[in-house]
A and B are shown apart, each in its own frame.
Chain A
């Protein structure tokens, strides 16, 4: 396992502390002209999403983390296990319900997702920022109601429930932002 010296420190660096992977999300270089260099870093734990504030002195080092991001398509769910496959290698990756988190609500077979690997094992999954999903169930909208500020809950084919404008009907395909869970637009009727 390699190490990063303080001079390698920059935003986005993946490092290992106490055996867990972290991403450097902030790095401030502070140095009195004739004095010691200090690196004030904010690090996010990639497993638990907690953050750490650490100060390092010039010349310190951190272990590098073997973290890689790959694209894999979602295959299926078996109980609490979600299975993905990397298209080029046919390698399959299994993530637990806990690792997938809330994102399961937007997962549809064949969807290309981003999976983060730590020491070649999957740790987190991110679905595409925007997904297009079919409305499986909703209350019928009033005819001619095209206002977008009147919303109602709609149930999508993947099981997610989002708020959509009143004119959306069952069978429509809508675009949803997976980061916020917000309705974006109607794709087709």
Chain B
């Protein structure tokens, strides 16, 4: 099953003139995400010399390496590789997983969404993906405007829907707006996404832009999109942020939030920023969870069923 999907995936990219590349799994740089924890690696053979050895990171996605290639060559590229995220274990998560990531220069969000929809249809026969804005998806499921409503509205909604019992609710006093949005999205909205096929959600709140470009407006929206099939989050894409100074600002902000969440800050300067200072071409990029794709194709209920040796037997 995996082998068959991999072959069809490579065929798809080949037919669309996208080149396969390889970038290091182990890097001195790491993406700074509020909610993604990279695994730190010391380049030392034993613990005695560990203190003096440089710190590296297992990639959480091949984003930095691939964008550095794009800055240099401006060609459409893809990669099928391993990514690592600490503490992510569950029916849909394994700390080491296979990620498919691609970048195509000069593609607007609309084209990137169409390409992703074609890819999903080719591999899963999911048909053309329905496209829905983040805002409409919330309105459809919850009758709530996620951009305009107050934090108290979100909290009340979660309470009415009994998503949290009294004690958990009391515990949630310190949750911010994005946390409430994440809870409602993952518990109520997501299970309905792509119920009968594929659905792509686009135009995320600017606070959840990550490395996507923000389109000015009222409210400003992140040019970010995600593919869901049968309620499963399968891929995440951006119209990529090109502005190095804006990325420096977001890195700082993400680190501030990480520290507030009790997480260690991550290094803010990177070789990607240096490359972006010289110029990253306008491009779209998408990352897709290959193990989840295999799960959907196979009708598996746990990621353990599609990985030879999941983390507790690795």
Query: Is B28 close to A, CB under 8 A?
Result: no
- Could you tell me if B183 and A29 are in contact, using CB atoms closer than 8 angstroms? no
Chain A residue nearest to B234 in the complex (CB): A33
Give the contacts of A28-86 with B (CB-CB under 8 A): 28-38, 52-60
Q: Say yes or no: A31-B168 contact (C-beta < 8 A), given A55-B163, A57-B179.
A: no
How many angstroms from the CA of A37 to the CA of B36 in the assembled complex? 9
Query: Is A92 close to B, CB under 8 A?
Result: no
How many angstroms from the CA of A55 to the CA of B183 in the assembled complex? 10
CB neighbours of A37 from chain B (8 A): 35, 87-88
How many angstroms from the CA of A53 to the CA of B233 in the assembled complex? 24
Query: Is B175 close to A, CB under 8 A?
Result: yes
How many angstroms from the CA of A159 to the CA of B185 in the assembled complex? 56
- Could you tell me if B186 and A35 are in contact, using CB atoms closer than 8 angstroms? yes
Give min CB distance, B195 to chain A, whole Å. Answer: 18
- Could you tell me if A58 and B35 are in contact, using CB atoms closer than 8 angstroms? yes
- Could you tell me if B165 and A36 are in contact, using CB atoms closer than 8 angstroms? no
Task: Pick from A32, A57, A59: contact of B172, CB below 8 A.
Answer: A57
- Could you tell me if B90 and A57 are in contact, using CB atoms closer than 8 angstroms? no
Q: Say yes or no: A58-B171 contact (C-beta < 8 A), given A31-B93, A36-B35, A36-B182.
A: no
CB neighbours of A56 from chain B (8 A): 168, 171
Query: Is A3 close to B, CB under 8 A?
Result: no
Q: Say yes or no: A32-B185 contact (C-beta < 8 A), given A7-B87, A54-B165.
A: yes
CB neighbours of A59 from chain B (8 A): 261-263
* Residue from the set B36, B87, B89, B179 with the largest chain A CB neighbour count within 10 Å: B87
CB neighbours of B181 from chain A (8 A): 35
CB neighbours of B72 from chain A (8 A): none
Give min CB distance, B248 to chain A, whole Å. Answer: 19
* Secondary structure dominating the interface of B: mixed
How many angstroms from the CA of A143 to the CA of B141 in the assembled complex? 70
Q: Say yes or no: A54-B167 contact (C-beta < 8 A), given A29-B91, A35-B185.
A: yes
CB neighbours of B163 from chain A (8 A): 55
- Could you tell me if A55 and B168 are in contact, using CB atoms closer than 8 angstroms? yes
Q: Say yes or no: A34-B33 contact (C-beta < 8 A), given A7-B87, A28-B91, A29-B93.
A: yes
Give the contacts of B154-205 with A (CB-CB under 8 A): 163-165, 167-168, 171-172, 175, 178-179, 181-183, 185-187, 190
Query: Is B236 close to A, CB under 8 A?
Result: yes
Give min CB distance, B185 to chain A, whole Å. Answer: 6
Query: Is B120 close to A, CB under 8 A?
Result: no
Chain B residue nearest to A37 in the complex (CB): B35
Query: Is B210 close to A, CB under 8 A?
Result: yes
CB neighbours of B289 from chain A (8 A): 33
How many angstroms from the CA of A30 to the CA of B185 in the assembled complex? 11
Query: Is B270 close to A, CB under 8 A?
Result: no
- Could you tell me if B93 and A35 are in contact, using CB atoms closer than 8 angstroms? no
Chain A residue nearest to B212 in the complex (CB): A34
Chain B residue nearest to A36 in the complex (CB): B182
How many angstroms from the CA of A121 to the CA of B87 in the assembled complex? 34
Question: With contacts A6-B87, A58-B261 known, what are 11 further pairs, Cβ within 8 A?
Answer: A7-B86, A17-B167, A28-B91, A29-B88, A29-B93, A36-B179, A37-B87, A38-B186, A53-B165, A58-B35, A60-B171
A–B complex contacts, Cβ < 8 Å, 11 sampled: A7-B87, A28-B90, A29-B90, A30-B187, A32-B182, A33-B236, A38-B183, A52-B165, A55-B163, A56-B168, A59-B261
Interface set of B (CB-CB < 8 Å, partner A): 33, 35-36, 86-93, 163-165, 167-168, 171-172, 175, 178-179, 181-183, 185-187, 190, 208, 210, 226, 233, 236, 261-263, 289
Which 8 pairs from chain A and chain B are nearest by CB? A29-B90, A35-B182, A7-B87, A36-B182, A55-B168, A30-B186, A36-B179, A54-B168
Interface set of A (CB-CB < 8 Å, partner B): 6-7, 17, 28-38, 52-60
